[in-house]
Amino acid sequence: MVTLEQFIADRQQEFERATGAFSKILRDIGLGAKLVSFYLRRASLAGFLGELGLTNIQGESVQKLDDMANRLFLNLLSQNPHIAGLASEEEEHIIQANPAGKYVVLLDPLDGSSNIDVGVPVGTIFSIYRRISQVGTPCEEADFLQGGRKQVAAGYILYGTSTLLFYTTGQGVHGFTLEPAAGEFLLTYPSVQMPSESSYYSFNDNQLHEWAPGLQKYVQDLHQRNRTAAKPQSLRYVGSLVADFHRNLLKGGLFMYPGTVKKPEGKLRLLYEGYPMAWLTEQAGGKATDGIRSLLDVEPKKIHQRTPLFLGPASEINRIAHFLTENVIVETA
Ligand code: AHM
Ligand code: MG
- Model pLDDT for residues 165-184, shown as the tens digit of each residue: 999 999 999 999 999 999 99
Confidence band for 332, pLDDT divided at 50, 70 and 90: low
Q: Is 241 in the pocket of ligand 1 (CB under 6 A)?
A: yes
Q: Cβ contacts of residue 213 below 8 Å, gap of 6+?
A: none
CATH code, 4-192 = 3.30.540.10
| pLDDT interval class at 300 (50, 70, 90) | very high
pLDDT at 119: 87
Q: How far is the CA of 327 from the centre of ligand 2 (A)?
A: 33
Q: For residue 292, give Cα distances in angstroms to 151, 203, 288, 333.
A: 21, 17, 9, 28
pLDDT at 308: 98
Instruction: State residue 60's pLDDT score.
Output: 77
Q: Which ligand is nearest to the CA of 124?
A: 2
Confidence of residue 84 (pLDDT cuts 50, 70, 90): very high
What pLDDT band is residue 186 in, cutting at 50, 70 and 90? very high
Q: What percent of the chain has pLDDT over 70?
A: 96
Atom of ligand 1 nearest to the CA of 108: 2
Is the C-beta atom of 205 inside 6 A of ligand 1?
no
Closest by Cα among 305, 270, 310, 254 to 127: 270
pTM score: 0.95
Mean pLDDT of the chain: 93
Q: Give pLDDT, residue 258.
A: 98
Per-residue pLDDT, averaged over 231-259, amounts to 97
CB 138 within 8 A of CB 249: no
Ligand 1: which of 114, 120, 158 to mutate, most ligand atoms within 8 Å of CB?
A: 114
Q: Which atom of ligand 1 is found nearest the CA of 242?
A: 9
266 close to ligand 1 (CB < 6 Angstrom): no
Least confident of 111-120, 122-131, 185-194, 222-231: 111-120
pLDDT average, residue stretch 78-95 = 96
For the chain, the structural domain boundaries read 4-192, 200-326
- Give the tens place of pLDDT for each residue, 7-66: 988 877 655 555 678 889 999 999 999 999 999 988 777 677 777 777 877 777 878 888
What mean pLDDT is predicted for residues 143-149? 98
Nearest CA residue ID for atom 17, ligand 1: 239
CATH 3.30.830.10 fits 200-326, yes or no: no
